[in-house]
A and B are shown apart, each in its own frame.
Chain A
Amino acid sequence: MFSEIKKLLDAGYNQKYTTKDGIDAIFVQPENWLDIATFLKENKDLGFDYLMCISSYDLNNGIYGVAYNLYSNSKKYYLEVRVEVESDVAVPSISSLWRSADWHEREAFDMMGIVFEGHPNLKRILLSDDWEGHPLRKNYKEPDYYHGLPVPKDKSYWE
């Protein structure tokens, strides 16, 4: 399935993505992502109309990534696309193509601090608006105080 999708993508887009051995996913640079996303959605032979999930991740070496899981209802294709960026680089928003990206991108911003360029309403979704930092980053430090209340540091009762 992955090789068929790659064959279709190679017509015109072979310079714009890379693959890694042993991983069935395509790696895209942020500047090419909107182009490829439009192609994946609009092309009749692919027809990726269903964006299932957007997962953000922190590899703990300064690289932040976003993984998109796409599904095509007509062809029953499944594809994973990854966009990996350094800390402060923005990723283009695809919420104009798939509306399900709207809330998922807000969640990735909230939790991992990834900025999506062109998102209509990029604000926190699960945490409160006055929260500081992005908790799922590996270098996240728990605050000492929250609204003037000390945060308990003794976690021995967890054991």
Chain B
Amino acid sequence: MNKEIENIKELKDQSVIKTGEMVLNMGPQHPSTHGVLRLKIHTDGEVVSKIEPILGYLHRCFEKHCESLSYEQIVPFTDRCDYLASMHMDHAYSMTVEKLLDIELPERVEYIRVIVAELQRIASHLIAVGAFGLDVGAITPFTWTLRDRERILDLFEQLCGARLLYNYIWPGGLSHDLPPKFIDRTLEFIEYFEPKIVELNQLLTGNKIFIERSADVGILPAEVGINYGVSGPSLRASGVNYDLRKDEPYSIYSKLDFDVPVGKGEMGTVGDCWDRYYVRVLEMSESIKILKQVCKNIPDGDVQAALPKKIRPSKGEVYGRYESARGDVGFYIISNGKNIPLRVKMRSPAFCNLSVLSEISEGWMISDVIAILGSLDIVLGEIDR
């Protein structure tokens, strides 16, 4: 609780100022809601008492569509769920179907998947970090991070022709092999990008105005985060070392050497907005560490060797988990032995992360809600599906 709010509370207790509850509408068309989200903010004066998020403006019936599409045809739809980290959604879905089919993948496929997933993680975190700066009033970092992200999108364009919605990772393999010189270009990008993190730290991380706006604001205690199902960088910022890449290693992550950054409360309290921001910055460095190892050891092989001709899993259910840029993605697939799934349910990380907003915004001012919402890094495409 900061000083201003304490002062207001004091004045109110002495009945110097009288306030009543007011309901303030924010969104759906509001730049700070990162998409089409509507927030019904109950305020007392300027202090927030409760927030009711109203979702569904971007609902595209993903789960209903899945009931009439074959397993291969669902991949482009998963792309459109989280449009800032499409590779992660493809990867999560493909891994779940592979678990259902029980197929072994060629090693080259796993290496390429990790390369694109880590590049995508950097791209997604660049948007998260830049847009968070924008939310609290720093405009320059956003343009700088977009410039760097453009390099990653260029790499993806060379890879599969698309810049945002890739349809690159398929159940059982990949749609294309790497283009010539892709590894060299990735290494070039790493060389270019490493100094940019230092630059970002100088520009934004240590900026006094930025720290004033984000440190000690919107503290998410670890137990509350776990109880609400928060995952990914938002939970790790509260000091919980929970990363599926380490805890339940999939693909080739068990062979790789990297750390899981957790929030330490360097500028304020553990689990504040600044921690949620900084964990993402640190994660970008870890992704670079992974990319360096993977690019060095990539084996040869045919990326479509394990691609099934027709996907027709036997009866059964499977729950697959994946660590995306926003957190723990889950796909629950029920198969009834046909080439069309009976049910596909997606556990969206941003959906759970958003549910904690009301709890952690209580007692903060309206301008702080913008910072808290920005630090949770939500993508409405994934929340509404």
Contacts and interface: CB of A to CB of B under 8 A. Distances in A.
B56 A125 contact: yes
B317 A125 contact: no
Contact of A127 (B59, B229, B242, B321): B59
Given A51-B229, A55-B343, A80-B319, A100 B355 contact: yes
A89 interface: no
- For B64, B247, B347, the residue with the greatest tally of chain A CB atoms inside 10 Å of its CB is B347
A136 interface: yes
B23 interface: no
B193 interface: no
Interface in A40-57: 49-53, 55-57
A27 interface: no
Interface in A11-54: 23, 25, 49-53
A111 interface: yes
B225 to A, nearest CB: 10
B9 interface: no
A52 B347 contact: yes
Contacts, number: 77
Given A52-B347, A73-B242, A98 B330 contact: no
Interface in B341-380: 342-343, 345, 347, 351-352, 355, 359
A57 B342 contact: yes
A52 B59 contact: no
A100 to B, nearest CB: 3
A132 B63 CA distance: 18
Given A69-B319, A136-B63, A53 B332 contact: yes
B61 interface: yes
A98 B227 contact: yes
A58 B343 contact: yes
A109 interface: no
B319 A53 contact: yes
B182 interface: no
Contacts of A99: 227-229, 355, 359
A102 B342 CA distance: 25
A135 B65 CA distance: 11
A53 B347 contact: yes
A3 interface: no
A67 interface: yes
B77 to A, nearest CB: 14
Contacts of B334: 57
Interface string A100-123: 101100000001000000000000
B191 to A, nearest CB: 38
Interface residues of B, number: 33
A136 B64 contact: yes
B340 interface: no
B174 to A, nearest CB: 27
A149 interface: no
Interface in B280-317: 316-317
- For A60, A80, A98, A103, the residue with the greatest tally of chain B CB atoms inside 10 Å of its CB is A103
B216 interface: no
Interface string A71-89: 0010010001000000000
Nearest to B59: A126
Given A57-B342, A98-B229, A73 B240 contact: yes
Contact of A49 (B227, B332, B347): B227
- For A51, A55, A58, the residue with the greatest tally of chain B CB atoms inside 10 Å of its CB is A55
B226 interface: yes
Contacts of A156: none
Nearest to B68: A158
B63 A102 contact: no
A52 B317 contact: no
B323 interface: no
A50 to B, nearest CB: 5
Interface string B213-236: 000000000000011110000000
A135 B227 contact: no
Given A23-B316, A99-B359, A135-B64, 6 more contacts: A55-B332, A55-B343, A57-B342, A60-B342, A99-B227, A136-B64
22 contacts: A23-B316, A23-B317, A49-B227, A51-B229, A52-B229, A53-B345, A55-B345, A67-B319, A67-B332, A69-B319, A69-B330, A73-B226, A99-B227, A99-B228, A99-B229, A100-B355, A102-B355, A124-B56, A126-B56, A126-B59, A126-B384, A136-B343
